[in-house]
């Protein structure tokens, strides 16, 4: 799943503890924060695959694709229906949150989704931004505070570090 020798800030034991999926049963979230290339997405996908193998319903999506899906549903007047469909997953993995700024409507749509999932379903977020920098891509503190509040209330937060796996591979190759 994860090359533990490369990732020095999260241990094999910590990951193994997550694989009992108690966090899903307890509707808790996982948040992986760190620079590009340290294994956040790899780890999220690995946990998601293991959860599927254990019988959970899991959806993996990039933050951009999710925002676009919600915006399209909102334009069609089907936002509530789309959020209801997303609530059917036990675990929603949102990859690369914070790489691109969001429009006002995208922020509100995402808030509605996070609010609907809060204490009902689990979310894994991967991001390269610390919480204090989330205002940069949400561009509105009135939305970022309630989103962060709901995501971190019942969560396990992992600050990941180390050298970029891709850069290391490039140097070796």
Does residue 2 fall inside a structural domain?
no
**Bridge partners (DSSP) listed for residue 126:** 32
160 φ/ψ angles, rounded to the nearest 5 degrees? -105, 145
pLDDT in tens, 95-104: 999 888 888 8
Does residue 4 fall inside a structural domain?
no
Q: Single out the residue of 85, 94, 108 nearest to residue 48, CA to CA.
A: 94
Q: Is the pLDDT of residue 3 over 70?
A: no
> Quick one: pLDDT at residue 168?
60
- Domain at 59, CATH number: 3.40.50.300
Does residue 118 fall inside a structural domain?
yes
Does residue 1 fall inside a structural domain?
no
Does residue 78 fall inside a structural domain?
yes
Let me know if 153 is exposed, middle or buried by CB neighbors in 10 A (0-12, 13-18, 19+).
exposed
> In percent, how much of the chain has pLDDT > 90?
66
pLDDT in tens, 17-34: 999 999 999 999 999 999
More confident residue, 109 or 133: 109
Instruction: Note down the domain range covering 92.
Output: 12-172
> Greatest CA span in the chain, whole angstroms?
51
pLDDT in tens, 50-105: 999 999 999 999 999 999 999 999 999 999 999 999 999 999 999 999 888 888 89
pLDDT in tens, 115-163: 999 999 999 999 999 887 887 777 766 788 899 899 999 999 999 987 7
Q: How many domains does the chain have?
A: 1
Does residue 7 fall inside a structural domain?
no
Does residue 151 fall inside a structural domain?
yes
> Quick one: pLDDT at residue 161?
86
Does residue 23 fall inside a structural domain?
yes
């Amino acid at each position: 799943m994860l090359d533990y020798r490369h990732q020095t800030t999260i241990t094999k034991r910590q990951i193994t503890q997550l694989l009992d999926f108690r966090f899903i049963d307890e509707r808790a979230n996982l948040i992986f924060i760190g620079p590009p290339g340290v294994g956040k997405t790899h780890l999220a996908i690995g946990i998601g695959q293991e959860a599927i193998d254990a019988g959970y319903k899991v959806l993996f999506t990039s933050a951009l694709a999710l925002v676009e899906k919600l915006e399209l549903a909102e334009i069609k007047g089907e936002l509530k229906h789309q959020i209801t469909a997303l609530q059917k997953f036990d675990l929603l993995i949102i990859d690369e949150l914070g790489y691109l700024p969001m429009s006002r409507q995208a922020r509100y749509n995402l808030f509605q989704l996070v609010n609907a999932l809060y204490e009902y379903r689990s979310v894994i977020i991967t991001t390269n931004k610390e919480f204090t920098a989330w205002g940069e891509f949400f561009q509105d503190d009135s939305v970022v505070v309630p989103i962060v509040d709901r995501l971190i209330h019942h969560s396990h937060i992992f600050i990941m570090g180390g050298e970029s796996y891709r850069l290391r591979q490039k140097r070796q190759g």
